[in-house]
């Protein structure tokens, strides 16, 4: 059964469980107490609590954004290619219960959690109205941004929905200040190029400009190779083993995103620096990899794949900037 078909079936099941009391997004009884009406990224009017207390975040960007705003959701989903919360958020997320995986919300678990607000975006629920409707049968659900869209827009929309606009402005100002400081130490790299590579299994994928890690490099003024200096389709771009020259640059940020998948979330694999080191040893066996300029010049920087080769919000962006500072400024002194 497809995700769409499953969502329809689950939506109908939920309506039965809820006694047929589904409500429209504009009229939803968000929670006891004061409410307000906001428009989400799709211009849908959502009635939400003025101060939501039980928020479920069903993607990396929404979990990241809530944590950056000082809000701990009551439930979330596993990170892309991972069986737990996104690795880069493990310290901040703590023991937040998992209520499904990316693009696979567990409707029953979400319903039992009794949220007063659910936040999603295109990285988790993309072009799938039945899933949105199933979630809206549980609680007011806001769609806050699109896959491959501007992370700032997603964060601002999320902040509007949870009534934390002033806090969001400060978070973004702090990020911009950090970028400005780190950028001052990167002058000697202005003529060099930087690639962001995810090695998965036996082949590579590129992170291009539209994804948050690509945006971070642009913010820092770091140049991409000509073939990578573009927006992609909102996800990593696969590169065949026959075309590995496409991933080359003067410098390469290199990571992996675990061994698990939608079909097998418990498969072995990792996302951290040790996993990146193992992936690099596998990449060295691929024809042509050791001929790449970044490899020959010993300018491959191993990184946390959950941070550098996926998606997120302001916490992700700040940590990427900090990684760049450590790798290109502090360690090169």
- The 10s digit of each residue's pLDDT in 2-55 is 444 444 444 444 443 443 344 344 434 444 579 999 999 999 999 999 999 999
pLDDT in tens, 52-94: 999 999 999 999 999 999 999 999 999 988 889 999 999 999 9
Overall fold of domain 189-330: Rossmann fold (3.40.50)
Question: Which of 84, 106, 110, 81 lies closest to 95, judged by CA?
Answer: 84
The overall average pLDDT reported for the chain is: 88
Average pLDDT of span 215-226: 98
Residue 252 pLDDT > 70: yes
Interval 175-194 mean pLDDT: 97
Lowest mean per-residue pLDDT among 61-75, 256-270, 312-326: 256-270
The CA distance from 234 to 311, in Å, is 10
Q: Nearest 5 degrees, angle CA 312-CA 317-CA 157?
A: 55
Decide whether 35-164 matches 189-330 in CATH topology.
Answer: yes
**pLDDT, position 269:** 62
Phi, psi (deg, nearest 5) at residue 302: -75, 135
Asked whether residue 318 carries a pLDDT value surpassing 70, the answer given is: yes
- State residue 33's pLDDT score: 76
* Overall CATH class of domain 35-164: alpha beta
Site of tokens 């927006």: 231
pLDDT digits (tens, 9 = 90+) for 117-144: 999 999 988 778 899 999 999 999 999 9
> Lowest mean pLDDT: which of 23-37, 193-207, 250-264, 266-280?
23-37
Q: Mean per-residue pLDDT for 154-182?
A: 98
Is the sign of the CA dihedral 68, 258, 197, 149 positive or negative? negative
- Structural domain spans, the chain: 35-164, 189-330
To the nearest 10 degrees (0 to 180), the angle between helices 3-17 and 129-136 is 20
Q: What pLDDT does residue 265 have? A: 44
Q: How many CB atoms lie within 10 A of CB 168?
A: 21
Specify the long-range contacts of residues 290-297, CB closer than 8 Å, at least 24 apart: 292/244, 292/245, 292/247, 292/248, 292/252, 293/248, 293/249, 293/250, 294/195, 294/248, 294/249, 294/250, 294/251, 294/252, 295/252, 297/250
Instruction: In whole angstroms, give the CA distance from residue 210 to residue 218.
Output: 10
DSSP output for 192-211: SBEEEEEEETTEEEE--TTS
The SS3 call for residue 9 is helix
Q: What are phi and psi of 43, to 5 degrees?
A: 65, 20
pLDDT at 5: 44
Model pLDDT, residue 259 = 56
Four-CA torsion 308, 311, 315, 316, nearest 10 degrees: 10
Is it the case that residue 239 has pLDDT exceeding 50?
Answer: yes
pLDDT greater than 60 at residue 166: yes
Sheet holding 300-302, edge to edge: 237-239, 203-206, 194-200, 251-255, 300-302
């Amino acid at each position: 059964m497809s995700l769409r078909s499953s969502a329809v079936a689950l939506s109908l099941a939920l309506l039965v469980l809820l006694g047929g009391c589904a409500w429209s997004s504009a009229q939803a009884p968000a929670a006891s107490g004061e409410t307000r009406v906001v428009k989400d990224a799709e211009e849908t009017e959502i009635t939400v609590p003025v101060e939501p207390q039980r928020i479920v975040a069903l993607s990396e960007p929404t979990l990241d954004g809530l944590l950056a705003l000082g809000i701990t959701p009551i439930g979330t989903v596993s990170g892309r290619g991972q069986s737990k919360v996104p690795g880069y958020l493990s310290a901040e997320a703590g023991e937040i219960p998992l209520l499904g995986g990316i693009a696979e919300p567990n409707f029953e678990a979400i319903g039992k959690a009794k949220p007063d607000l659910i936040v999603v975006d295109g990285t988790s629920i993309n072009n799938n109205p039945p899933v949105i409707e199933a979630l809206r049968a549980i609680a007011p659900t806001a769609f806050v941004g699109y896959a491959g869209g501007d992370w700032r827009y997603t964060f601002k929309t999320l902040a509007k929905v949870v009534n934390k606009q002033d806090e969001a402005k400060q978070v973004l100002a702090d990020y911009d200040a950090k970028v400005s400081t780190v950028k001052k130490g990167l002058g000697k790299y202005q003529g060099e190029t930087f690639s962001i590579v995810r090695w998965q299994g036996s082949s590579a994928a590129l992170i291009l400009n539209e994804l948050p890690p690509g945006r971070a490099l642009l913010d820092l003024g770091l140049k991409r190779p000509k073939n990578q200096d573009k927006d992609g389709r909102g996800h990593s771009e696969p590169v065949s083993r026959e075309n590995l020259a496409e991933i080359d640059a003067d410098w390469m940020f290199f990571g992996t995103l675990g061994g698990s998948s939608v079909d097998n979330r418990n498969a072995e694999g990792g996302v951290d620096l040790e996993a990146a080191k193992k992936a690099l040893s596998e990449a060295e066996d691929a024809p042509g990899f050791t001929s790449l300029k970044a490899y020959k010049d010993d300018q491959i920087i191993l990184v946390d794949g959950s941070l550098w080769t996926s998606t997120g919000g302001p916490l992700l962006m700040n940590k990427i900037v900090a990684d760049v500072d450590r790798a290109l400024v502090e360690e090169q002194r």
